[in-house]
Amino acid sequence: METRFKGRHFITEDNWTKEELDIVFDTAFDLKKKFYAEEPTLWLPYKTLFMMFFEQSTRTRNSMEAGMTQLGGHAHDLTPDKMQITHGEVAKDTAIILSRMGHGIACRNCFYGVGNKYLNELAANSRKPVMSLQDDVYHPFQGLADLMTIFEHLGRNTKGLKVTVSWAYATTHSKPLSVPQTQILLFPRYGIDVTVAHPKEFPLSKNIVEKAQKNAKEGGGSLRFTNNMDEAFEGAQIVIPKNWGGFGFYDEEFYLSHEDQC
């Protein structure tokens, strides 16, 4: 029986070892196999997960809620208008209350400069594990799903696999940096060679890039950046298009201090 995960928060994969993540993937593949075989997997009977969404969600909310049902538990769908948050309740108080009533707290808060701090405040004051359903810095469950999809199609040995994460146009540019930042932190740990292509106006966070470069060195992968989209696609075996906002959209002063990152 694996006990090292009991009570663990999941706000970023970077706080989990590769061995621990491998166990997560093994478990996910086993659950998926049982799901398609319609075998019951009531591993969390009568457990309650509180899901807090500060933004609308289709895929994340429904996948988490369906997952809890399949595991025998129940997920509460909470939005600020259903809580005392709209009356000024802070993360500390919310965490104390919910962790007394249930068995886990999952939260999506993507407000720039706020979300990750909010989740960490929840975690610091919760008796039960806190999971990120995306914040302004990380989207850990998305990272797991992306890598699991790669494993399914190309196998678990991903050493030398070439993946391009490409900025893509959208009508709005307020989307968080969390998806590409999670991908560059996670993929190189599995030996993947990652290229990030983006206009110079839309870089990723400097501290995340530095940590991702360290992860690549330790994991045997690589990480490079280019502003040339055509160059980025050369030799790529997988291309992941994703829109994300620039620092300038949120805070011009903050952006100017980071614009020479890449």
What are the angstrom distances between the C-alpha of 170 and each of 28, 99, 188, 241? Answer: 32, 38, 27, 11
Task: List the single range of 31-40, 76-85, 206-215 with lowest mean pLDDT.
Answer: 76-85
Q: Is the pLDDT of residue 133 over 90?
A: yes
pLDDT in tens, 203-255: 999 999 999 999 999 999 999 999 999 999 999 999 999 999 876 444 444 43
pLDDT at 3: 74
Q: What is the CATH T-level fold of the domain 140-256, as seen in this structure? A: Rossmann fold (3.40.50)
d(CA 12, CA 165) in angstroms, rounded, equals 19
Give the pair of three-digit tokens for residue 59: 């895929």
Does 140-256 match 13-135 at the fold level? yes
Which tokens is 148 given? 């699991």
Mapped onto helix, strand or coil, the DSSP state of residue 170 is coil
Q: What is the pLDDT of residue 175?
A: 87
pTM confidence score: 0.91
For residues 116 and 118, what is the distance between their CA atoms, to the nearest angstrom? 5
Domain chopping of the chain, boundaries = 13-135, 140-256
CATH class of 13-135: alpha beta
| CA dist., res. 252 & res. 257, Å (int) | 9
